[in-house]
Amino acid sequence: MATVGKVIKCKAAVAWELNKPLVIEEIEVAPPRENEVRIKIVATAVCHTDLYQLFENKDSAGFPAILGHEAAGIVESVGPGVTEIKPGDKVIPLFIRQCRECHFCKSPKTNQCVVAWDGAIPTSDTPITCKGKNLQLFAGTGTFTEYTVVHKLAVAKIDPAAPLEKVCLIGCGICTGYGAAVNTAKVEPGSTCAVFGLGAVGLAAVMGCHAAGAKRIIAVDINPDKFEKAKVLGATDFVNPKDHSEPISQVLSEMTNGGVDFSLECVGNVGVMRSALESCIQGWGVSVIVGWTEMDDVSARPLMMIAGRTWKGSVFGGFKGRDAVPSMVKAYMDKKLKLDEFITHNLPLEQINDAIEMMKQGKCIRTVLSTSTK
């Protein structure tokens, strides 16, 4: 390829500072260094965590930045030390790295590799610049761009036949929700589940509960427009907390004779996390925190757990990315996993601020942004 070994000038949506619209700018992307992979991003979707980073996370160390962490693309070139990935491979960047060698990677219990979060640490030494300034790559992926550079442990190689404009969703929302049900909650056949929040992550959690054989899946959201899609993905009951004056945990307890077996919080709100826990049945109920927030502490009465409930959480659905993402792509190709139902809009990267606005207003599930072909 003519670009190998050279700086690539291309377009990206740059987040210059908190709370400001993204700006389409020309950026310079350095050739991959040791253990790095330069990827042409073909499709990238907007996830709620990108909005969290732009509007709510008050840490200025993350700016200026290229946001985006749910994407798929094609490897343009690789740096020294990269052997498992080659130019032309179709890949999904990972915001949780997997080294396959540490004691966490060797355990089937977790995806918290010792270097899992290394990409998320702000650094002055990033491979992408704009107007002479280094840009942070959000979550170590920074995908709202035509080209990005990621560490080799943050790349999953996928089926060359996979449609990138669909499977990009596997890079975050689908695995996060589906895995939270299947891997973290370990939903059991015949069980009763409740999913709080019906964005892409919550809908994927519904899909995971359904795949695990749950008998009853109660979908909870204050926006009733979300119920239709939840039904398509397997939800059996629908509750809008605004329709009830009593606490939602009481409503669910009455509906289920004491509480649900599994609950999943997919909002990122500490009050909802508590409600989800309190909606679980005593004795064996399991509640999983899936939604992302770093702003507030979460609290609950100790009796909740003393009486036999388990409160846990996961990131990326507990999936080890380099191993699981290719399998999830295969599941989609084999028609065992739904993705198309999650894509409500398609836009060019240039219209990313419209996608962000729609997500803010709860008007979309996923908008997939495409980069121009060149």
**Which among ligand CXF, Zn ion, none contacts residue 311 (Cβ within 5 to 8 A by kind)?**
none
Q: How open is the CA angle 96-187-236, to the nearest 5 degrees? A: 110
Cβ(233)–Cβ(211) under 8 Å? Answer: no
Residue type, 221: D
Pick 93 or 234: Cβ nearer Zn ion: 93
| Binding status of residue 27 toward ligand CXF by CB under 6 A | no
Q: Is 172 in the site for ligand CXF (CB under 6 A)?
A: yes
Tell me the per-residue interface mask from 35 to 74 with ligand CXF, x by CB under 6 A, - otherwise. ------------x-x-------------------x-----
**Crossing angle of helices 248-256 and 270-278, rounded to 10°:** 30
Task: Name which of ligand CXF, Zn ion, none residue 315 binds, using a CB cut-off of 5 to 8 Å depending on partner kind.
Answer: ligand CXF
Using CB under 5 A as the binding rule, whether residue 205 contacts Zn ion is answered as no
Closest distance to Zn ion from the beta carbon of 292 (Å): 8
User: Amino acid identity, residue 105?
Assistant: C
Q: Which is nearer to Zn ion, 39 or 172 (CB)?
A: 172
Q: Checking phi first, is residue 18 left (phi over 0); if not, alpha (psi -120 to 50) or beta?
A: beta
Find the shortest distance in angstroms from Cβ 87 to Zn ion: 27
* 220 lies in the binding site for Zn ion (CB under 5 A): no
In the complex, the smallest distance separating the C-beta of residue 266 from ligand CXF, rounded to whole angstroms, is: 10
Give me the least distance between CB of 200 and Zn ion, in Å please. Answer: 8
Structural tokens at position 18: 């908190």
47 is a site residue for Zn ion (CB under 5 A): yes
State the Cα–Cα distance between residues 169 and 181, nearest whole angstrom.
17
CA 349 to chain centre: 19
Ramachandran quadrant class, 316 (left: phi over 0; alpha: psi -120 to 50; beta: rest)? left
Residue 327, C-beta contacts closer than 8 angstroms, at least 6 positions apart: none
Is position 172 an interface residue for Zn ion (rule: CB under 5 A)? yes
DSSP label of 119: G
Tokens coding 38: 């330069």
> 238 is written with which tokens?
């629908």
**330 class by beta-carbon count within 10 Å (0-12 exposed, 13-18 middle, 19+ buried):** middle
Size of the site for ligand CXF (CB under 6 A): 9
Q: Is residue 356 close enough to count as binding ligand CXF by CB under 6 A?
A: no
Under the criterion CB under 6 A, does residue 204 sit at the interface with ligand CXF? no
Report the residue from 44, 49, 143, 256 that binds Zn ion according to the rule CB under 5 A.
49
Task: Tell me how far apart the 2 most distant CA atoms of the chain are, in Å.
Answer: 66
Report if residue 292 touches ligand CXF, rule: CB under 6 A.
yes
Per-residue mark of binding to ligand CXF, 95-124 (x: CB under 6 A): x-----------------------------
How many alpha carbons lie under 13 Å from residue 334 in its C-beta half-sphere? 7
Measured at CB, which residue is nearest to ligand CXF?
A: 49
Enumerate binding residues for ligand CXF (CB under 6 A).
Answer: 47, 49, 69, 95, 139, 172, 176, 292, 315
What does the binding site for Zn ion look like in residue numbers (CB under 5 A)? 47, 49, 172
